[in-house]
Amino acid sequence: MKNKNKLILVIAVVAIIFVSWYVWRWVSDYYAVKNFSVASEQELRELLKTDADYIRLERIAKLAYQRDNYGSTTPEGTLELFVEALKKGDADLASKYFLPELQKEYRTAVENWVRLGKNIGIADNLSRVDMPEIKGNSAFITTTNSKKEIILMIRLAKNQYTQKWKLESI
């Protein structure tokens, strides 16, 4: 009977450790996905020391894309949504129309545009664009001057999981 009690205790301890580890991984992945952004090359080298680190980063990136529902089913629709948020000065919303790994970077850029009072002018320039040129899961939207010279190029990519177009660069 003593051995049976010890066995039950050992199984219970192992189960508690396993459940705790699983919950810890789930919570850390949740926050990693929420704060997913491109790291510098130095930070990536420090983070990706093993194959397991690379696999985890790949899983986090995939989850970030799967959970990202911002954007439109057309490139010009996503640009319009971005312009609306930019005009309102909503840096958080405006940044969500970019690829998940670029959102932190562009949130800072939009915050600076708003702080400097440039967001309305930039939004106006982005409102006067040509029709997108779509090639597979990439799209390019340009603005040209009176001489037909490109003065602005916007690149978008289609999120393969949500089928929403995301800003890649302005």
What is this structure's pTM? Answer: 0.70
Confidence (pLDDT) at 52: 75
3-state secondary structure of 104: helix
What is the band of 94 on the pLDDT scale with cuts at 50, 70, 90?
very high
Integer-rounded Cα radius of gyration of the chain: 22
**Average pLDDT value over all residues in the chain:** 81
Q: Can you tell me the distance from the alpha carbon of 19 to that of 134, in angstroms, rounded to the nearest whole number?
A: 47
Is 38 a residue whose pLDDT tops 60? Answer: no
Q: Which CATH architecture has domain 75-169?
A: Roll (3.10)
Strands 138-144 and 133-135: antiparallel
Q: Can you tell me the distance from the alpha carbon of 107 to that of 97, in angstroms, rounded to the nearest whole number?
A: 10
Q: Can you tell me the distance from the alpha carbon of 79 to that of 57, in angstroms, rounded to the nearest whole number?
A: 29
Confidence (pLDDT) at 9: 66
Is 26 a residue whose pLDDT tops 60? Answer: no
Tell which residue, 141, 119, 118, has the closest CA to residue 129: 141
Q: Can you tell me the distance from the alpha carbon of 106 to that of 85, in angstroms, rounded to the nearest whole number?
A: 13
Q: What is the mean pLDDT of residues 25-47?
A: 56
Q: Where are the domains of the chain?
A: 75-169
